[in-house]
Amino acid sequence: MEPHIRQRFHFAASSFSRIYGVSHVTLDMIDFCYDWAFTEETAPLDCLNHVDRYFRELWTCHKLLS
């Protein structure tokens, strides 16, 4: 995995850890973070609360469409 993709994956996964707690992050969430890392989408970078809200909304939409 390229360093930039790996950084994006860890960025997304850390948000899920903050939102749900490390022990409650599921394999589906990790797969979602992996897939997101390969996109060109950008998360807000101004505040961790905004980052977490962004990923929570993406995750909620993803679950509804699955």
Nearest to 7 by CA among 32, 45, 34, 26: 34
What are the tens digits of pLDDT across the range 26-43? Answer: 999 999 999 999 999 999
Residue 49 pLDDT greater than 90, yes or no: yes
In this prediction, residue 56 carries a pLDDT of: 98
pLDDT at 46: 96
pLDDT at 66 over 90: no
Q: What is the tally of structural domains in the chain?
A: 1
Burial of 20 (0-12, 13-18, 19+ CB in 10 A): middle
Domain that holds residue 47: 3-65
Residue 33 near residue 9 (C-beta atoms within 8 A): yes
Residue 13 to residue 2: CA distance in whole angstroms:
16
Average pLDDT, integer, range 50-59: 98
Helix axes 3-20, 48-65, angle to 10 degrees: 90
4-21: pLDDT as tens digits: 999 999 999 999 999 999
